[in-house]
Amino acid sequence: MTQSTPSPPPSSALLPSLAVAATIFTWATSFPAIGFALREIAPLPLASIRFAIAAVIALGLLAWRRPRGLTRRDAGTVVLCGVLGIALYNVFLNSGQTTVSSGAAAFIVNTQPLFMAILAVLVLGETFNRWGWIGAGLGFTGVAIIAAGQPGGLSFGTGASLILGAAFCAASYSVLQRPLFARVAAFDVTLLVLVAGAVALLPWLAEGWQQAAGARPETLLTVLFLAIAPGLVGQSCWAYAIGYFGAARAGQFLYLIPPGSVLIAWPLLGEVPKVETLLGGALALAGVIVVNSRGRTRS
């Protein structure tokens, strides 16, 4: 008779549960925080100053941790990840959030797994089954409904289309960075990518400092929160949570981020959620869940 492994005592799950809560809070709050900071700082300067601060902290952590195992090819991948996952993602997201509500932005960005699945089909040879196509259809229908409630809809160059571009950049970044985890700790990869992204955003740093100098203290605190919490704190807590719960189980909690953003943006920014945002967001989340749970067939 095989002896079953005893489950950990309930108290042992306290820290991982708090780590999940911190991840959800920091990542959900980032969308309303961006919307708040954009009231005084333009999209590109905001991205530049935010990640300049994050990069200073990241460089200090890298000097302490001294990650090893990166090849020259890996360095090129890190740079590409920084350009896609940090610089372009935040340029698109910040620019899109000048007209799109924080809650709607969070729901649209949450379609990232749909793009990851499509990239896996195109690049890695995976295939969609019937449920995969149904899930993708639900997800993108949800995005279209959300966009219908935002200025300009989903036509090219509008806020919703820019945020959809941010979701694609995030998906590409996620796929590109995976091979690096075989040789370098995930947190170290995150630190390196943050620095690479900050370098790509340097052309707007002087303007960012200039605009921040004339901003209110609340805006400066928001920029500091954006520099530290979603990336450094959120990523650290997420890595810890995955180590305890496993990626599949922990990943289910990420579906709480868009509703959390809606609830936080309501009192913080006065953004009352529209019917289109709630209905489209529900469809988008349903599509992501279907694709992740039943939609792909691996050879």
- Residue whose C-alpha is closest to residue 228's, from 36, 75, 33: 33
Predicted local distance difference test score (pLDDT) of residue 5: 43
pLDDT in tens, 171-181: 888 888 878 87
pLDDT in tens, 60-106: 999 998 888 788 888 899 999 999 999 999 999 999 999 999 999 99
Winning range, highest mean pLDDT, from 94-103, 124-133, 156-165: 94-103
Write down the residue that tokens 């089909």 correspond to. Answer: 121
Q: Is the pLDDT of residue 3 over 50?
A: no
Residue 127 is inside which H or E element, if any?
strand 127-128
CB–CB of 103/262 below 8 Å?
yes
pLDDT in tens, 50-61: 999 999 999 999
Predicted local distance difference test score (pLDDT) of residue 7: 45
CB–CB of 10/170 below 8 Å?
no
Predicted local distance difference test score (pLDDT) of residue 299: 47
Q: Is the pLDDT of residue 228 over 70?
A: yes
User: What is the percentage of the chain residues whose pLDDT exceeds 70?
Assistant: 90
More confident residue, 235 or 65: 65
Q: Is the pLDDT of residue 142 over 50?
A: yes
Mean pLDDT calculated for residue range 134-159: 81
Model pTM? Answer: 0.87
Mean pLDDT calculated for residue range 160-170: 92
pLDDT in tens, 239-286: 788 778 776 677 778 888 999 999 999 998 998 888 988 998 899 888
Mean pLDDT calculated for residue range 23-49: 95
Average pLDDT over the chain reads 86
CB–CB of 282/118 below 8 Å?
no
Q: Is the pLDDT of residue 33 over 70?
A: yes
CB–CB of 34/46 below 8 Å?
yes
